[in-house]
Amino acid sequence: MLVQKMKSFVVTLVMTSIALTLQAGAFVLPAHSTVRVLLGDEKQAVVTTALDLLQSDLQRVLDATLKYTSRSPQILVGTVDGEADEWLAAAGIESSWLHRSGQSYILAVNAKGQLIVAGSDAYGVAYGLMELSRRLGVSPLEWWADVVPEPLEQWSLPEGFTSRQSPNVSFRGIQLGDIEWGLRPWMARTFEPDGVFPVDQKTMRRIFELMLRQRLNLFWTSVDGAPNGFFDTKVGRAMANAYGIFLGRGIHDPINIAGLEDPYMIADDGFGYLTHFPTPEQSASDKGCGVYYHASYRGAPHDYLWLGTASPFLMCQQLSEAMYHDASRVWVLNVGDIKPLEYQLTLFSDMAWDIQSVRDLSVGRHLEEFFAQNVGRDVARLLSIYMKEFYHLSFQCKPEHLAGTRVGETADSAVDWNQVRDLPWSERFIRHRLDRYDLMRRNIEWLSDSIYRQYPSRRDAFFELVEYPVQAAINQNLKYLLAQLARHNHSWLASESVAQTWRRSDLAHNEVQKLTLRYNALRHDKWQGILSSNPASLQVFQPVPHTLVTSSLRSDPPAIASFYGASYQASSFSGGGVLDPVLGLGASIRAMPVPKECNVTYKYRHNYGRDKSTYVEVRLLPTHPIEEQQRFSLSLDGSEPQIFTYDAEVGSEEWKKNVLRNYAVVRAYLPITRPAGEHEIVVTALDDGVVVDELFVRTTAAIER
């Protein structure tokens, strides 16, 4: 014991010596030290909570402790209504904007090497303190994804360091949804067996801590359609106040925030497509406008509650559109059971806080930074590439939708929607998709071996954030795609029998069960019950029945030409403004938003001979109108444009097809005026909100076959 104390003393002495040799203006925290904090007149509960969290983080990262003192403080903490104005002025830092911006903060290192944490209010101070934790290397998901922070021997900020931050959205929140297959059984079995309410004290403390670390401040308390009585108690309200959380009752109920009139809320259709946008009058109203958005959904035409497959690229595009139309007073994300939606929650929180920084970075780079923070910077680039492939394939068809089944259909429907059926894919498409998943499996297995050796402390975080959702999606796809081949008397590999392909399908189903058991047993059963391999007990999660059909697998009709929305070599833009693709968006991952009165031109060469018309199929994101309609026109070689409207009413059969495949389709026969040579198809947006994903040109003969 004495030897250990001597070693600790020597290390502290050495690090202190190193710190003293640095320039006087740098802010340095050596390990094993006492950090002196001067706390100004800001004594609200949320600041105390943030300081307690920072103390815990410093202990884990630097083995350091906080001490509140006015003698030679290293960190100065306060609001601009108090001493912070004087501290910033003395450091020569302009701070008038803090007086005009709620929940904002400045972090700054002054000439004495002191760190100033100045907030516009108590919330700003708390968020500034949580920014220190982030910079120390403590992930907001530290507890929720078991991200073990790396210990350091020293942490510093350079002389003159300054960071100014303020939120885009005033009230940034989450709502738990459909927790009976995850959060509720987990809480009942492991975390809080004696809980009285749907979500109780210990659970909410962890949820509120996550929210504070993510700079969220609004919790919609409606859980599974019923009020949560915990928030009617003094304990519940006091806890929310301690973490800086406002409380509401859901999209159809008033938001209980003093001084805030109920804003005009817009919502998505459950699948990530906002159904409407504020009118100019609503945007100009003092009430403001807000957004309610789903990353998890239960309902028709089919649930997706399982693997966190909501497209971050679609979320970014739709929320950016909402922000552009001034829906920025309140944002709320339906985050299901929280797990396994850790990334979508992080992206949503960061966009609500500073949407431009996310857009400047791009979703792909934001994803990379997420894995750098939570798994390891050395592997973050590869992880982001693999996870983009995961989101792309899930966008084409979510794992929950692979059976071709539906929920919520009427009992007298002519179709038995509980029966497993073929997806409308060709044999070529199925085999290509299987190959992509097989490559993904090999990549993840190779990378997991590297991570387990290089970042052993992050092994659980990697499994929770990457390995489980990816491997479960791989096996769910193997299960159904192999079954579709076998159902039509095809084997996957030429060297195996159809019976062996069926067996592979069954083994893939079993693998999902094993993966889920492994997840729930992590950290000595910490997560027991949090994930289910059969949420809502739907047909899609059962083994596939071994049935045979006599019909043939469909084949894709040949195409004269095909294009991504943003096929640059074959596209030109006109109509004013600059058009940018949203890389990662759509089934093509190169979808192109086309603003009103802008157009894109797709060029190809073909000799039509005696054909009088050609067949064109345009696939578009199934978005909803920003204004009254959603129209575009098609023209071939300068012919009279044909106008099309493609918005589908939520709940209609067309809408169900659109959201399950994630594209709307418009088919047209365009007259041929130039039989041979180069041809041009012009797509012109007549309303805002048009997003072109893919375009196919085929002969009429190919379609008629």
Q: Is 457 in a helix, a strand, or coil?
A: helix
Residue 415 to residues 192, 405, 420, 516, Cα–Cα distance (Å):
44, 10, 11, 32
pLDDT at residue number 570: 55
Taking 50 as the threshold, does the pLDDT of residue 432 lie above it? yes
- Three-state secondary structure along 257-321? CCCCCCCEEEEECCCCCECCCCCHHHHHCCCCEEEEEECCECCCCCCECCCCCCCHHHHHHHHHH
CB atoms within 10 A of CB 691: 23
Q: Which two tokens stand for residue 557?
A: 């009709």
| CA triple 465-471-477, angle to 5 deg | 130
CA atoms within 13 A on the CB side of 512: 28
Find the mean pLDDT for residues 369-375.
97
What confidence category does residue 232 fall into, taking pLDDT thresholds of 50, 70 and 90? confident
Q: Which two tokens stand for residue 13?
A: 């002495």
Nearest to 343 by CA among 399, 386, 397, 300: 386
User: Which one has a higher pLDDT value, 701 or 657?
Assistant: 657
Q: Which residues lie across from 255 on neighbouring strands?
A: 248
Please report which residue ranges of 570-680 form alpha helices under DSSP H.
Answer: 653-661
Model confidence pLDDT, tens digit, residues 257-286: 557 678 899 999 999 999 999 998 998 888
**Domain extent listing, the chain:** 2-165, 171-361, 399-408+417-541, 561-704
- pLDDT > 70 in the chain, percent: 91
**In a 10 Å sphere around its CB, with 0-12 CB exposed, 13-18 middle and 19+ buried, how is residue 422 labelled?**
middle
Span of 251-255, 356-360, 585-589 with lowest mean pLDDT: 251-255
Q: Which two tokens stand for residue 269?
A: 């259709």
What are the DSSP calls for 518-561, one per residue?
Answer: HHHTHHHHTTTTS--SSGGG-GGGSPPP-----SPPP-PPP-SE
CA pair distance 42, 486, nearest whole angstrom = 68
Span of 208-212, 366-370, 412-416, 663-667 with lowest mean pLDDT: 412-416
What confidence category does residue 179 fall into, taking pLDDT thresholds of 50, 70 and 90? confident
Residue identified by tokens 């693999």 is 386
Model confidence pLDDT, tens digit, residues 10-42: 444 444 444 443 456 899 999 999 999 999 977
Span of 21-35, 122-136, 215-229 with lowest mean pLDDT: 215-229
Domain 171-361: homologous superfamily in CATH = Glycosyl hydrolase family 115 (3.20.20.520)
Task: Return the CATH architecture of domain 2-165.
Answer: 2-Layer Sandwich (3.30)
CA atoms within 13 A on the CB side of 465: 33
Find the mean pLDDT for residues 156-175.
96
Burial 438-463 (b: 16+ CB within 10 A, else e): eebeebbeebbeebeeebeebbbbbb
Residue 661 to residues 122, 293, 396, 664, 671, Cα–Cα distance (Å):
46, 19, 6, 8, 29
Find the mean pLDDT for residues 180-202.
78
* Contact between residue 671 and residue 613 where contact means Cβ atoms under 8 Å apart: yes
Q: Which residues lie across from 304 on neighbouring strands?
A: 297
Model confidence pLDDT, tens digit, residues 330-353: 999 999 999 999 999 999 999 999
Q: How many helices (H) and strands (E) does the chain have?
A: 19, 26
Top-level class of domain 561-704: mainly beta
DSSP for residue 226:
B
Torsion angles phi and psi, residue 666, rounded to 5:
-125, 130
β-strand pairing of 115-119 with 162-165: unpaired
Q: Which amino acid is at 189?
A: R
Nearest to 181 by CA among 338, 381, 7, 3: 338
| CA triple 408-414-420, angle to 5 deg | 65
Q: Which two tokens stand for residue 79?
A: 């609001």
Q: Is 684 in a helix, a strand, or coil?
A: strand
What are the DSSP calls for 137-206, one per residue?
Answer: T--TTTTTTT-PPPP-SEEEE-TT-EEEE--SSSEEEEE---GGGTHHHHIIIII-TT--SSS-HHHHHH
Model confidence pLDDT, tens digit, residues 579-634: 667 789 999 999 999 989 988 999 999 999 999 999 999 999 999 999 899 999 99
The torsion angle over the Cα atoms of residues 319, 127, 53 and 142, rounded to 10 degrees, is: 30
Nearest to 645 by CA among 656, 637, 653, 634: 634
Q: pTM score > 0.85 for this model?
A: yes
Q: Which residues lie across from 514 on neighbouring strands?
A: none
Model confidence pLDDT, tens digit, residues 377-398: 999 999 999 999 999 999 999 9
Nearest to 332 by CA among 414, 222, 236, 419: 222
Q: Across the chain, which distance is largest between two alpha carbons, in Å?
A: 96
Give the contacts of 31 (CB within 8 A, at least 6 positions apart). Answer: 11, 12, 15, 62, 63, 64, 151, 152, 153, 154
